[in-house]
Amino acid sequence: MARISLFFWGLVGLVTGFWLMSDSLWVSPFEYFSFRHVFVQYSGLLAIFMMSAALILALRLRMLERWLGGLDKAYRLHKWLGIGSLVLATLHWWWAQGTKWMVGWGWLDKPVRKGGGQELAGLEAWFRGQRGLAETMGEWAFYIAAALIILALVKAIPYHLFRKTHKWLAVVFLPLAWHSFILMEFDYWNAPIGWLNLTVTVAGTVAAILLLIGWPARARRVPGEVVSITRYPALKVFECRVRVDEAWRGHKPGQFAFVTSDEKEGSHPYTIASAWDPETRCLKFVVKELGDHTRRVSQSLHEGKAVTVEGPYGGFDFEDDCRTQIWLGAGIGITPFIARMNYLARNPDGRTVYLFHSTAEIDETVLDKLKTDAEAAGVNLVIRCSKRDGRLTPRDIREAVPGWQNASLWFCGPVALANTLFSQFRAWGMSGRRMHREFFEMR
């Protein structure tokens, strides 16, 4: 979270700093139209910078993923940037378009333009000649972008529809970039903010084109084949093993991959619930039928079915300097811990580990597998069925772990439980640097 906030507010600070080298929101005299002019420029530039950064993050670049602590963190920042750009673009649109409406309604008196007869020449004249088209393109692109961002935020929209509509933001960005390029104050080209705008819009345009042609995600995809499927109807869960070809270079426990079993549906992220074994080259995915997509996948998968796997992604890697670790896997959030136990069974690291698994439903076969994995890995396992034993609380965890003050906390599960757990342990004095979570939300 700290790095996400640092990136987001760092971007705002960078743009604002460059802006203040060129202009100011504190205009003199301070009246509506003079403020409107500079605010439209500032809000428009900041909105296009945020959208450019969101597109660059969508490329899933390894360097940015590592710096942010995993692709889940990158996508959370991507979401923040999308919301931020929508808010700023809406303010930009209102101050630009709404002012024209208020003048037409008689609410405002349009000021007399100074220097109206001035003749422009050269590059500035060309920029001025493109303004009408740039304004029209930007306005309609804003309407489409706003609708697409709002659709992305509505969780009721099925994932496959979200995925198909969200990619059109890359197309919509292109006229918005042109709008920003042409309508930026011409004098800014002699200032740092102008060159920053050029750099960022070009980078965003390149990112948009790469996203539309499917790179670099395509470079990280490998073919695979389903070798087995095991279903657990009582839990609405199925376990799928996929054999990947030699292009897969392995993964760390806790990472995830995007799997495509139907091109029409597209890829979907799943945590890899097994450690890497180069001899079998098999990846295990444990999937809960939570929505339309996973239910359709469960019905369509069969042994021998060809799939593609893209990854690995994620920074939930259990690497820290604490000799005691507390793991909490709630519901299907147990999957990264299964992979880590599989790894520790063959590569013990001497840590003392306490694994708490909170679940609403019980399947004895699944629990027996979990107990076997924990015993092989030397992990202390605590299972809590909420319907039978009541909800697992932070106090229950604290009382069960000797020396919890010096432990690290690793969590994967529902957001509400994570917020309760982390806020309580933080209140008890645990450092935020020792608390780790997987934000397994890709929208």
- Name the residue type at position 27: V
Residue 1: predicted pLDDT: 57
Please state which of the four CATH numbers 3.30.930.10, 3.40.50.2300, 3.40.190.180, 3.40.50.80 is assigned to the domain occupying 324-437.
Answer: 3.40.50.80
Query: What's residue 228's pLDDT?
Result: 94
Give yes or no for a contact between 263 and 225, defined as CB atoms under 8 angstroms apart.
no
pLDDT number for residue 358 = 92
Task: Give the Cα separation of 254 and 316 in Å (integer).
Answer: 5
Which amino acid appears at position 269 of this protein? P
- The values of phi and psi at residue 260, to 5°, are -115, 115
CA dihedral 392→394→399→403, nearest 10 degrees, is 130
Radius of gyration of the chain (CA): 26
d(CA 333, CA 271): 9
Question: Distance (Å, rounded) from C-alpha 306 to C-alpha 259?
Answer: 11
d(CA 123, CA 251): 53
Instruction: Burial-class residue 190 by CB neighbours within 10 Å (0-12, 13-18, 19+).
Output: exposed
Are 387 and 359 contacting, i.e. CB atoms less than 8 angstroms apart?
A: no
Q: Where are the domains of the chain?
A: 2-110+123-212, 220-313, 324-437
Q: Which two tokens stand for residue 148?
A: 């697409």
**Choices 1.20.120, 1.10.1330, 3.40.50, 2.40.50: CATH for 2-110+123-212:** 1.20.120
Task: Give the tokens for residue 398.
Answer: 């604290």
pLDDT of 118 = 59
Query: How confident is the chain (443 residues) per 10-residue block, as mean pLDDT?
Result: 86 93 84 90 96 95 88 92 96 92 86 62 82 93 95 82 88 96 92 93 95 84 94 89 94 94 84 94 90 75 93 91 95 94 94 94 88 96 88 93 94 90 94 87 65
Q: Same topology for domains 2-110+123-212 and 324-437, yes or no?
A: no
Rounded distance, CA 328 to CA 322, Å?
16
DSSP 413: S
Helix or strand or coil: residue 11? helix
Would you state the torsion angle of the CA atoms of residues 185, 186, 191, 197, taken in this order, to the nearest 10 degrees?
A: 70
Positive or negative: CA dihedral 260, 258, 163, 292 = positive
CATH architecture of 220-313: Beta Barrel (2.40)
What is 136-179 written as a DSSP string?
HHHHHHHHHHHHHHHHHH-TTS-HHHHHHHHTHHHHHHHHHHHH
Provide the whole-model pTM.
0.87
> What pLDDT score was predicted for residue 351?
94
Which pLDDT value is given to residue 214?
84
Q: What is the pLDDT, as a whole number, of residue 121?
A: 66
